[in-house]
A = this chain, B = another copy of it.
Amino acid sequence: MPLGNEPAEIVQPQFFYQARKFSFHGNRMRLPNGVEGDWTYVKHPGGAMVIPVTPDGRIIILRQYRFAVQGRILEFPAGTLEIGETPLVTIQREIEEETGHQATKWTDLGEFFLAPGYSDEIIYAFLAEGAVPLPQPPAGDDDEDIEVLFMTPAELDAAILNGAPIDAKSIAGYFRAKPHLKS
């Protein structure tokens, strides 16, 4: 996904706020086609996600509380890239912290953008097969409020198609994983 080759020019910086994991920006900008305007956006280090699959073909997915949406949604394990970290290192940490599982076979499912209207975040997706419980489950982040669910592909298809609360990256990552799964 070789983007970044058509940057917009910052004509006048207007606003900046450094949050914990990303930053907010507002700038007067000039687009490559010459149009000038004021835009606000999130600069984000990127995220990694995983579709974990157990040896018997069940998919591991979380139901977790998200304050931004004021409730619980289905979501695959994911995390923000730390400085200097490859997406695979990030997600191999997150799968352990969030699901208490580790996996034997990792497959790169490629990248996609999360919210290109106002964020530069790239999501790096992986399939993790042979997911089995860790001998000793880790403690996990204390601000995460998570249930670990096991679903067959048919059950997850139905949840997505019937409108269960879920996010875009989880559906998108699962789309890329499906050709690798036994139905």
> Which residues of A come within 8 Å of B, CB atoms?
1, 3-8, 15, 17, 19-20, 22, 24, 26, 29, 31-33, 35, 37-42, 47, 65-73, 75, 78, 80, 110-123, 142-143, 145, 160-169, 171-172, 174-176, 179
A9 to chain B, nearest CB (A): 10
Report chain B residues within 8 Å CB of A42: 42, 68, 118
Q: Which of B3, B73, B119, B160 contacts A113 (CB 8 A)?
A: B73
Cβ-defined contact, B120 with A68, below 8 A: yes
A97 to chain B, nearest CB (A): 15
Cβ-defined contact, A166 with B3, below 8 A: no
Main secondary structure of the interface of A (DSSP, over half): mixed
A178 to chain B, nearest CB (A): 9
Report chain B residues within 8 Å CB of A174: 175
What would 21 A/B residue contacts be, using CB atoms closer than 8 Å? A1-B164, A1-B165, A8-B67, A15-B17, A17-B26, A19-B26, A31-B67, A32-B65, A35-B142, A68-B116, A68-B117, A69-B120, A69-B122, A75-B116, A112-B166, A114-B115, A116-B167, A160-B175, A171-B175, A172-B175, A175-B175
Q: Which of B80, B119, B164, B179 contacts A68 (CB 8 A)?
A: B119
Cβ-defined contact, A166 with B113, below 8 A: yes
Cβ-defined contact, A165 with B71, below 8 A: no
User: Complex Cα distance A165/B165, Å?
Assistant: 26
User: Complex Cα distance A141/B32, Å?
Assistant: 15
Which 7 interchain pairs have the tightest Cβ spacing?
Answer: A3-B71, A171-B172, A19-B40, A110-B163, A168-B168, A8-B67, A66-B116
Report chain B residues within 8 Å CB of A8: 67, 70
User: Complex Cα distance A179/B121, Å?
Assistant: 29
